[in-house]
Structure 1
Amino acid sequence: MQIKNLPREFEIARPIVQNIEEAGFEAYFVGGSVRDTVLGLDIHDVDIASSAYPAEIKKIFKHTVDTGIEHGTVMVLDHGNGYEITTFRTESGYQDYRRPDKVTFVRSLAEDLKRRDFTINALAMKENGEIIDLFDGLTDLKNNLIKAVGNPEERFHEDALRMMRAVRFASKLDFMVEVNTLNAIKNHSELLEKIAVERIHTEFVKMMLGKNPLKGIKDMLNTNLCNYIPGFKNHLSEFKSVLNINNLYLENESQVWTLICYQFGLNTKQIKSFLKAWKTSNQIIGNVTTMVCALRAIQTKSLDNMLMYHTGRTLLNSTVQLALILGMSIDANEIISEYDSLTVKSRDEIKINGSRLMSLGLVKPGPIIGKLLNAIELNIVNKALMNNEDSIIEFTKKFLKE
């Protein structure tokens, strides 16, 4: 097979491959960019594998960076772009089920490709677009199959994260995991405990944001992978209930965790603990606690001005989308319209702040200022107080008397 019209990302990288070949070595485009090009999908990073050793690559190119030289990777800088060139290699050991104990540089493309995870990721492409397919990956792409290269038991022992990658690709591409590969995942699912949660987190979120996340969820349940990720073992029935959602399509990580925490019935304290176990960012934790609160209010029809105000338009819009996905009977446009009609959208829009009130001699520094500002904010958001200086001053005088 030969790709006639190469994506621009490959076209501008072709001189790199050509320079390596002119120096007497082999070089190929490899990995997900080749797979996605065959599938007609957009590509991002372009990776290159070569028979040249790192020192030899550094002799060929003037501008290089040792990004992972111990594993054979050198970045070549060219016209503002960076290309990672990795030497063909074999790996052995894997005592921790994560990293090879030994990496050996080789000159053989076949030896390099056979250590890769799945046949659809073991494709190589010459700079002219000719595909090198040593493990029938093109057939598996045509048949929509995720299939391990060689013995799946060995592949998952080498890196147990590959089990999560399998279900992630099933979701991302809307493919099926081949039966022997799926059985191997089930046989070795407990090895996932050996993997850093940050790596699992990345694959799980990508799976939930895929074209068909229900496939990934179903595979995770059927292979028992859910038993070995933080916080899921005691909520398997709730996670399984996600399979009842029609047309599940999520747009961002905050929606992913909001859906999970909502389905699991977690309160604010439990949400924070759960997401910290997943090593999520503080920003995501804040977003999710806010969105779950708003989602429950939408579900119980108790969404008020103050909750919309604290949620903000962006998170509220994501929450409304999630409510629709969950089949809640709501008027999404009405909710967003109600938010848009709020007098203020943040405390910065309130016409008087604490400093101004003190400068007017209405209040002295102390805890009372916080209580006063909260009361002003609440009344303006609930449209019980006009957002102008005179009205706020009058409200302040009455508040302090009471």
Structure 2
Amino acid sequence: MPTTSAWEVMKLSLPVPVKKAFKGLESCGFSGYLVGGCVRDYLLDTLPTDFDMTTDATPDEIISCFTGHRVLKTGIRHGTVTIILDGMAIEITTHRTEGDYSDSRHPDAVKFTKNLADDLARRDFTINAMAYHPQKGLIDRYGGAADIKNKIIRGVGDPHKRMAEDALRMLRGLRFAAVLGFDLDEETRIAIRQNCGQLANISAERIAAELNKLICGKNAKTIILEETTVLGVVIPELLPAKNFDQQNPHHCYDVLTHTAVAMQTLAPVPRLRWAMLFHDLGKPQTFTRDAAGVGHFKGHSKCSEAIARERLTALRMSNVTIDQVCALVKYHGTIIEEDKKSVKRWLNRLSEPLLRDLIAIKRGDNLAKASKHHDRLESLQRLEALLDQVIAEKACFSLKDLAVNGHDLMGLGIKNGEEIGRILNLLLAGVIDEVYENEKDSLIKKAKEMRTC
């Protein structure tokens, strides 16, 4: 738990709008407390970006305390009112207790209470069940501060009851462990594993939001390998990858361990981590052994791409994300030649950001193989240098960079859209391959020749 001086620092560092929220409630005879993530963040020496409060005031009373300020009532049915103070949105929620969770996600009934202790008792994990008041200090009934110090994720009260109430809490627990680098309390771990089948009742969007954060966590590798059964409820293809012996001298890990190790080499960017998570999940389906008993996975990239597209679509990811991840999975094993022409062709196919992502994927993939087979690292470094050079030279690798466009071809009397597209693509291919100069007069001349073909 922070020292008295640490709490004084926290008190002084509270944003002015938060101080106004405390004052607004107290001037009307009510008590307000910071709760949830902002308290947790202060204890982690992280400056919060969102501030949530709980209070003994009812929603109508909250609104009356902030007359003259903008009020959003979107969560008022559950007791939450958002107050806009000096441009900052602060969610203020009435202390409440909750009924049963018949759908494994939402309480059947919410009852307002004047008791802060009742409100804290309904929360998911101890690290989220603390409250703070500038004068009263930290209210920590469940040892959340100690669990933060000891890096433990522990359910509030009976973890089996907490997980059974709201199935999303299981993924939240894994996400917190992955992002914060904490361990799961053993009883909480057992509760998550025993109740994980209820994740099937959770909306795809909610699952995707948690997984996006989980896979980018600093402890993602450990969670993926230790909690495969839980994650397998939402990504079933993880299950056959676990302990799948690749039987190939290039690999020192089973498929899932290779995947998790490779993921951890990447920047915590969702599309990169998703691509690495899926890049080899097609291997169990494509495994064969040659006469010498060596394992091979012909066509696994195509199979992995299909798995990625199906699973990310089911999770209702954006089409842009799905296409980017699938492109990275599709090409993760494709050799890119070390020359400018090849780099420009790949830039045309993928764009600069995605080509850089592909190089990162290839590097991570190679780093997660047996150390004596890290043979592609130098090649990838040279390839990246070539990419930098092509970009620095502002080389033409897309139609927007071509010295001629559709209007120029229409000026030649070419009216058919398909014909214009065909000629422009032929001109671009010639420029990329350095057969033609990217110079307007020269390309117009070539276009005239192509029109007569």
Fold shared, TM-score > 0.5 on shorter chain:
yes
Matched, 1:225 2:259: no
Matched, 1:18 2:35: no
Q: Select the residue among 33, 38, 50 that pairs with 1:33.
A: 38
Question: CA-atom RMSD, angstroms?
Answer: 2.3
Counterpart contact for 2:101–2:107, Cα < 8 Å: yes
Other-structure match for 2:272: 255
The 3 A distance-change label for structure 1 pair 34 and 345 is farther
The 3 A distance-change label for structure 1 pair 248 and 130 is farther
| 1:2-401 → structure 2 map (5 Å cutoff) | 2=4, 3-6=7-10, 8-62=13-67, 63=69, 64-128=71-135, 130-221=137-228, 224-232=229-237, 235-237=240-242, 238-245=255-262, 247-265=264-282, 266-267=301-302, 268-298=305-335, 304-326=343-365, 327=367, 328-329=376-377, 330-331=380-381, 333-340=384-391, 341=393, 343-361=395-413, 363-401=414-452
Aligned-partner SS, 1:77: strand
Q: CA deviation at 1:247?
A: 4.4
The 3 A distance-change label for structure 1 pair 18 and 186 is same
Of residues 233-242 and 117-126 in structure 1, the stretch that sits farther from structure 2 once superposed is 233-242
Other-structure match for 2:298: none
Structure 1: runs of 5+ lacking an equivalent: none
**Residues 193-214 of structure 1 deviation map (CA, whole Å, 9 limit, x = unaligned):** 1111111111111011112211
TM-score (norm 1): 0.92
The 3 A distance-change label for structure 1 pair 45 and 139 is same
Counterpart contact for 2:179–2:220, Cα < 8 Å: yes
Amino acid across the alignment from 2:363:
L
Aligned-partner SS, 1:264: coil
Other-structure match for 2:291: none
Of residues 236-245 and 73-82 in structure 1, the stretch that sits farther from structure 2 once superposed is 236-245
Aligned residues: 399
CA distance in 2, matches of 1:129, 1:219: 40
TM-score (norm 2): 0.82
CA distance in 1, matches of 2:111, 2:349: 56
Percent identity of equivalent pairs: 30
Amino acid across the alignment from 2:447:
T
CA distance in 2, matches of 1:16, 1:365: 65
Amino acid across the alignment from 1:281:
S
The 3 A distance-change label for structure 1 pair 217 and 301 is farther
The 3 A distance-change label for structure 1 pair 300 and 240 is farther
Structure 2: runs of 5+ lacking an equivalent: 243-254, 283-300, 368-375
**Residues 214-261 of structure 1 deviation map (CA, whole Å, 9 limit, x = unaligned):** 12212321xx11331045356533444323438434332211221123
Amino acid across the alignment from 2:310:
S
CA distance in 1, matches of 2:15, 2:116: 19
Amino acid across the alignment from 2:51:
V
Counterpart contact for 2:260–2:277, Cα < 8 Å: no
Aligned-partner SS, 2:92: strand
CA distance in 2, matches of 1:187, 1:126: 37
The 3 A distance-change label for structure 1 pair 110 and 227 is same
Amino acid across the alignment from 1:213:
A
The 3 A distance-change label for structure 1 pair 179 and 254 is same
Amino acid across the alignment from 1:377:
L
Aligned-partner SS, 1:228: coil
CA distance in 1, matches of 2:215, 2:109: 34
**Residues 272-312 of structure 1 deviation map (CA, whole Å, 9 limit, x = unaligned):** 33321121101112222333344333578796421222322
Q: CA deviation at 1:314?
A: 1.8
Of residues 187-196 and 75-84 in structure 1, the stretch that sits farther from structure 2 once superposed is 75-84
The 3 A distance-change label for structure 1 pair 246 and 271 is closer
CA distance in 2, matches of 1:255, 1:176: 25
Aligned-partner SS, 2:111: strand
**Residues 103-130 of structure 1 deviation map (CA, whole Å, 9 limit, x = unaligned):** 0000111100011110011111103482
Counterpart contact for 1:308–1:339, Cα < 8 Å: no
Counterpart contact for 1:167–1:215, Cα < 8 Å: no
CA distance in 2, matches of 1:147, 1:158: 15
The 3 A distance-change label for structure 1 pair 171 and 234 is closer
Of residues 121-130 and 95-104 in structure 1, the stretch that sits farther from structure 2 once superposed is 121-130
